[in-house]
Amino acid sequence: MLKWSDIHWDVERFTVTSPKTKRYGKATRIVPVFPELRLFLDEAFGLADDGETWLVPMLGGNGNKNLGTTLRKIIRRAGAEVWPKLFQDCRSSRQAELEQQFPTYVVCSWLGNTPTVAHKHDLTVTDEQYATAGRSGDKLGMQTPVLCRSDSQQRSRKVQKLRENSSISEAVGILETAQIAEEGLEPPTRGL
Cα–Cα distance for residue pair 32/15, rounded to 1 Å? 9
182 has a pLDDT exceeding 60: no
Residue 61 and residue 110 in one domain = no
The residue out of 16, 32, 65 marking a domain boundary is 65
On whether residue 176 sits in a domain, the answer given is no
Is 115 contained in some domain? yes
Task: Determine the pLDDT at residue 111.
Answer: 92
Quote the mean pLDDT of the chain: 81
Q: Are residues 59 and 88 in the same domain?
A: no
Lowest mean pLDDT among 75-79, 111-115, 170-174: 170-174
Per-residue pLDDT band for 27 (boundaries 50, 70, 90) equals confident
Rounded to whole angstroms, the Cα distance separating 181 from 187 reads: 10
Domain assignment of residue 36, given as a range: 1-65
Q: What's the DSSP call for residue 159?
A: P
Tell me: pLDDT of 171 over 60.
yes
- Sign of the CA dihedral with 24 first, then 28, 32, and 33 last: positive
**pLDDT, greater one: 93 or 137:** 93
Residues 61 and 2 reside in one and the same domain: yes
**Residue 164 included in any domain:** no
Inside any domain, residue 78: no
**Based on the domain organization, do 11 and 59 belong to the same domain?**
yes
Mean pLDDT of 88-99: 90
Looking at the structure of the chain, the number of domains it has is 2
pLDDT at 76 over 90: yes
Has residue 95 got a pLDDT over 80?
Answer: yes
